[in-house]
Amino acid sequence: MKQRIHHCLVATVLLATSFAGSTARSAETITFSEHIAPIVFENCASCHRSKEAAPFSLLNYRDVQKRGELILTVVEDRYMPPWHVQSKDYVFQDHRGLTETEVALISDWVESGMAEGDSSKLPALPKFTGGWQLGEPDLVVSMKEGYTLYAEGPDIYRNFVVPLNLDEDKWIQAIKFRPGVRSVVHHSLFYYDTSGDARQRDAADPVPGFKTMGRGTERGGAIGGWALGGTPKMLPDGLAYRLPKGSDLILSTHFHPSGKEETEVSTVGFYFADEPPSQRFTGIQLPPVFGALAGINIPAGDSAYTKTDSFVLPVDVKAFGISAHAHYLGKCMSMTATLPGGEVKELMTIPDWDFSWQESYRFDGYISLPAGTRLDSEVVWDNSEDNFNNPNVPPKRVR
């Protein structure tokens, strides 16, 4: 109930702003070609085009006019463009969001009847690189065979082996993962294996891929991952993952059946560095192992089950990015850094966890965290029936 009232207030305030906007511009007609297309091409088209994350294109007048009212609602609510992280202390790269003026323009345009205007004034569409946002990769590989998953049933975790046939060591600056069927792939973690162990497990299992990953050996390692809503980014200068010659790539994928039988063939693009890295990097997870050892045990109906964890940095650190991961019950998450002098910095807060947007966020430049800085994380899960992503109706205890 409280939330409802809050929503109404927001709508009222925005409406008032847009009226003010229209009086100021009343002499001029707002048109798609001149005023709206530049906003949509710049802020929406990267996802709203064929084969990208969004379910429909927004690339021309018809596309946008047809959904005018809905577009106005989602931009006023700040539901689109999607952006979920915040920090009062640090700025993130590639922030997505419209300005108040842009929202007011869209509002005026929709309310004044969505004129097309002079199409010779249309801006050019941005150049998109056929799904490879970072340009053509140095190496592109795909799963050897499709994996068919059932229409309905529990989520599936499965590992696939992709031979890379590298005859020298490589240094990875970025990996772009492209699911074949977006609607069923929730995330994929990347590993390499030089032991041949994964190949053997794959061969021993009659269906493509195999079920359980072996525990880390010296001849394998983790090289990142992708989750729904993620966009690939180059590691900052001088940093790279090592990929030894002869490695197989292992995709450890979590599938969520969609109600329709689907066959997945994932594709991966590698971007290599020219030189070995000059520095090392590592990730710190709080709680570690995606919470597997944290004793998570959420009673049915608990709407704010909370776990916290802390870690004191033993050495000086320069941090460049942050991310969060959860599934259907995630509600909100945050991480702070308490500097040795006692000052508390907000590294990130995701106030309203959205299972569809598991992005990794880059800080704008490195953040200095001196030795002795304490990191504190808090994860909150909602296992009540008010969480409409809750797969259990009625809710069940979740460990």
Binding site for ligand HEC (CB under 6 A): 43-44, 46-48, 53-55, 67, 70-71, 74-75, 80-82, 96, 98, 356
Q: Closest approach of Cβ 87 to ligand HEC, in Å? A: 19
Q: How far is CA 137 from the centre of its chain?
A: 20
- Of 310, 267, 17, 36, the residue nearest 162 (C-alpha): 267
Give the nearer residue to ligand HEC in terms of CB position, either 60 or 195.
60
Q: Which is nearer to ligand HEC, 106 or 213 (CB)?
A: 106
Nearer to ligand HEC, 74 or 367 (CB): 74
Nearer to ligand HEC, 55 or 153 (CB): 55
Smallest gap from residue 48 Cβ to ligand HEC (A): 6
DSSP string covering 101-114: HHHHHHHHHHHTT-
The smaller minimum CB distance to ligand HEC, of residues 74 and 141, is found at: 74
Q: How far is the CB of 264 from ligand HEC (least distance, A)?
A: 18
Opening angle at CA 255, ends 233 and 187, nearest 5: 15
Q: How far apart are CA 36 and CA 104, in angstroms?
A: 11
Tokens of 370: 């001196």
Which residues touch 89 (CB under 8 Å, ≥6 apart)?
345, 346, 347
Angle made by CA atoms 274, 279, 282, in degrees to the nearest 5: 110
Q: How far is the CB of 103 from ligand HEC (least distance, A)?
A: 9
Measured from the CB atom, the residue of 54 and 294 that comes closer to ligand HEC is: 54
Task: Report, in Å, the least distance between residue 216 CB and ligand HEC.
Answer: 33
Query: Which one, 67 or 362, has the nearer CB to ligand HEC?
Result: 67
Query: Nearest-CA neighbor of 318 among 235, 377, 234, 243?
Result: 235
Handedness of CA 61, 64, 68, 74 (dihedral sign): negative
* Minimum distance, C-beta of residue 209 to ligand HEC, in the bound complex (Å): 27
What count of Cα atoms within 13 Å lies in the side-chain half-sphere of residue 242? 15
* DSSP β-ladder status, 317-323 and 360-369: antiparallel
Task: Name residue, tokens 């007011």.
Answer: 104
Using the structure block, give the residue that is written with the tokens 């005023």: 35
Q: How far is the CB of 56 from ligand HEC (least distance, A)?
A: 7
